[in-house]
Structure 1
């Protein structure tokens, strides 16, 4: 495991500092200024659901983050299978409806949400992209439905006026940005250029990386936001080149396949300058680039190591999986929703939301739906600890504990884990 020396400083982030900052995702809307209402209350209201927990999966089948879709869908499906094998929720099988979230260049997500609401979804799991979630969060929460993302990392959601109905199992980029910035400094680069998508994910994460680099004694010599829909990135790369950085943080999605060749063309390949990816572009590029193109590049992805037993089970759901990114978070999101409905004895969105914080901390620990359900039926308070790590929600619906994985590319243009950094955002 690698050690990032300044990380103790990074992980001891005060809540006030974290919440004041503006992932996975794009979009330019600004968050509502008011803090979100508490995500849970001590007691559930009278049941308002129809008795059948209906889950909508709003996850990427197409678009910039389509590579994240397979493990996320598989995580949801595995959880639903296990929940239904254990007797379902409130004595009835859970219904799952799969839809495409697309990306911010389309209206697919909005159309998918309309379909899910028409089919009486009680909770919608997704989107992967923060920008996509921002386009539909009001539609979902105004309908009284839980909006639960396994992959949104934009800090803006922490204070978004979501009516207490938005939750996520992925940590805010306040943490990923600090881990990445510390990693760059630890690797010996004191002059850093940031090339990021011009959207809420890119600009929010870029800001956090910049803060971490500068607080660690480094300097951000260039910070360039680009249009992710651009056909050519030569001008953006030229700005970076002019600053003569020792390292480049590339905060991108699948446009990485166009940016990397341009960086190499202008003499900024990983053999010349240290390059770092993030969760939006740390992916398998073995079929995109010649061998050796990405050798030495490092990247960060929120999430703990997926246990072997979980990997085996999720591969049975989808044998074609190439990686497991956000699969554990999707699995945990599904289990948490189901357990909250059981705790509330109510499958409505508001009933589920009223119990999500409560079941995530303070009770008897359990790690799967069946064991947690048995405790609930015995009248006990539970503390669900998931595959993605300890899941303890703040009142805003954010994880207060998280792990960031650090990865490195080999000659095959595939990435392997080289360490994990875990900590609390208190």
Structure 2
């Protein structure tokens, strides 16, 4: 019996070793994709919407199965909160680099994306923002910065043109929230407004934490403009419009994509119906895959799309498309494939120019009826 046991031991050990090797060979490679947006603060609902879009894409890809370089890959979402704060944005950007993510989807706000972009550039990790519209983001000379929305250099003029030609606005007051996004959009609007012959009666600055706008609005009431352009997010834009109505201003309120959300009806109350706003991308109802995406999103998360979820969803698929073309999950090899992207997804066809901007931007214009967002027009740039 002792002799037989010794004879069996090497065989058993060999079988166990082979089984271990087989298990290791078939074990999934876990690849992290980072996502950053404000999950706390006034824009948390928008940050969560963005994160949900990325999460939905990752769950779908994992369910279908993904093989890169002959190895099965499981994607993991590395979600971070930047609080829409530039300092916090750089801290979480470094964390994602340390976490060895293959790519980053984000940040939501231009004021967060711009400072964080230097960190991703230094690390050689591609950054695809679904919503940062300030032109500076892709004008820094970095090879890692991309976005899947139009820029404020397109959005501001589109909004000004609509105000001049469709709303017959002759005089306008401009207010921005002093962020890279709000100030950048307001400045682009103002330049075009002046070129179209509109008189800009004033340009005031508030901040992205403000709750009381009555001093600025009282001054603007005395200027009696046809419209007020507000550069900022819905968390402040909603109360701004509400207080304007309470003070009896006749002016139409114009705003960009930060204000142009499904939540605006709740934030502005009945004053939402006095707002015309732009969105730096194709309207969800005009997206070829918009209806199917909306249904999937609603089923998974139990509420409608807020705004940018389709853009984060496509951004994840764009990263995976680059991984497939690189036949690698190495960040440098994935980054090298991004400039050659030609991806047809929910938001349409994504092709980047040499700076990382879309070759064909689209601006959608909306108003609100009984607090509900309603499409006015789509402008192809």
Aligned partner of 1:83 in structure 2 is: 61
Of 124, 131, 150, the residue aligned with 1:171 is 150
**Residues 258-289 of structure 1 deviation map (CA, whole Å, 9 limit, x = unaligned):** 32343234332xxx111112111123234345
Question: 2: distance between equivalents of 1:64 and 1:55?
Answer: 25
Please give the secondary structure, in 1, of the residue aligned with 2:200: strand
2:217 aligned with 1:234: no
**Residues 171-194 of structure 1 deviation map (CA, whole Å, 9 limit, x = unaligned):** 111111111001110211111111
Question: 2: distance between equivalents of 1:89 and 1:317?
Answer: 25
Quote the offset at 1:390 in angstroms.
Answer: 2.0
Aligned partner of 1:39 in structure 2 is: none
**Residues 140-162 of structure 1 deviation map (CA, whole Å, 9 limit, x = unaligned):** 22122222211110010121132
Quote the offset at 1:234 in angstroms.
Answer: 2.9
- Correspondence 1:138-153 to 2 at 5 A: 138-153=118-133
Aligned partner of 1:182 in structure 2 is: 161
Of 295, 303, 314, the residue aligned with 2:297 is 314
Please give the secondary structure, in 1, of the residue aligned with 2:376: strand
Question: 2: distance between equivalents of 1:159 and 1:392?
Answer: 17
Of 247, 267, 280, the residue aligned with 2:248 is 267
Quote the offset at 1:125 in angstroms.
Answer: 0.9
2:25 aligned with 1:57: no
Q: Count the aligned residue pairs.
A: 343
Question: 1: distance between equivalents of 2:106 and 2:44?
Answer: 13
Whose RCO is larger (CA < 8 A, sep 6+)? 1
Q: TM-score, normalization: structure 1?
A: 0.75
Question: 2: distance between equivalents of 1:314 and 1:402?
Answer: 24
Question: 1: distance between equivalents of 2:380 and 2:323?
Answer: 29
Aligned partner of 2:10 in structure 1 is: none
Question: 2: distance between equivalents of 1:159 and 1:113?
Answer: 19
Q: TM-score, normalization: structure 2?
A: 0.84
**Could you say which structure has the higher helix fraction?**
2
Flag structure 1 segments of 5+ consecutive residues without an equivalent: 1-49, 361-383
Aligned partner of 2:331 in structure 1 is: 349
Q: 1:89 to 1:126 in 2, by over 3 A?
A: farther
Question: 2: distance between equivalents of 1:318 and 1:79?
Answer: 13
2:376 aligned with 1:394: no
Q: Which has the larger radius of gyration?
A: 2
Quote the offset at 1:211 in angstroms.
Answer: 2.1
**Residues 346-389 of structure 1 deviation map (CA, whole Å, 9 limit, x = unaligned):** 223221221112122xxxxxxxxxxxxxxxxxxxxxxx122112
Of 105, 115, 119, the residue aligned with 1:135 is 115
Please give the secondary structure, in 2, of the residue aligned with 1:141: helix
Question: 1: distance between equivalents of 2:213 and 2:353?
Answer: 40
Of 196, 213, 216, the residue aligned with 2:193 is 213
**Residues 233-255 of structure 1 deviation map (CA, whole Å, 9 limit, x = unaligned):** 33322442333211111112212
Question: 1: distance between equivalents of 2:208 and 2:268?
Answer: 20
Flag structure 2 segments of 5+ consecutive residues without an equivalent: 1-27, 285-289
Aligned partner of 1:363 in structure 2 is: none
Quote the offset at 1:107 in angstroms.
Answer: 4.4
Kept after mapping to 2: 8 A contact 1:77/1:317: no
Question: 1: distance between equivalents of 2:200 and 2:79?
Answer: 42
Question: 1: distance between equivalents of 2:38 and 2:197?
Answer: 38
Quote the offset at 1:324 in angstroms.
Answer: 4.0
Quote the offset at 1:300 in angstroms.
Answer: 0.9
Please give the secondary structure, in 1, of the residue aligned with 2:361: strand
Question: 1: distance between equivalents of 2:146 and 2:138?
Answer: 9
Question: 2: distance between equivalents of 1:232 and 1:72?
Answer: 28
Of 408, 415, 421, the residue aligned with 2:373 is 415
